[in-house]
Amino acid sequence: MNNDQNGRNFIKLMHDFDIPFNPVFYDNLDEMSNALFDGNVDAIIAFNIYAKSNHKLKATEIIFAPTRTLVGTKKGTNKEILDLIDREILKLKNNDSSVTTDFLINGFWPNPTV
């Protein structure tokens, strides 16, 4: 998509691995989907959530640019809150039955394939 971070990340990934391709740009996800359905492109780069909302698309398990989220506070304050957030995130990441794991597996990909 024009001026889209996902597209820029994908292009960088393709260049990093020297994979030849011809990018085609569209203004929005619906235009991209229509180009795919009409056979004008071989694939599109979109959020898996978008794919889940469009019954004609199939979400994949490919994550080429995971999002990094940061939490910050004013320097020297709220250390206890930051420590609590860190501890809870680690608990979620280490628990196979956590809401985080459930969302990543069942939320994005209800029927994962390999």
Residue spans of the domains in the chain: they are 5-53, 69-114
Best CA proximity match to 62, nearest among 54, 73, 53, 51: 51
pLDDT at 13: 84
16, 17, 19, 21: CA torsion to nearest 10: -30
Round to whole Å and give the CA distance between 8 and 13: 9
Between CA 89 and CA 85 the distance in angstroms is 6
pLDDT by position in tens, the chain (length 114): 788 877 888 888 888 888 899 999 999 989 999 999 999 999 888 877 777 777 788 777 666 656 667 788 888 899 999 999 889 888 877 887 776 666 665 554 445 443
Contacts for 13 with CB less than 8 Å, ≥ 6 apart: 64, 65
pTM of the model: 0.53
pLDDT at 56: 84
Write down the pLDDT at residue 112: 45
The type of residue at 5 is Q
Residue 22 neighbours by CB distance under 10 Å? 6
CA 1 to chain centre: 14
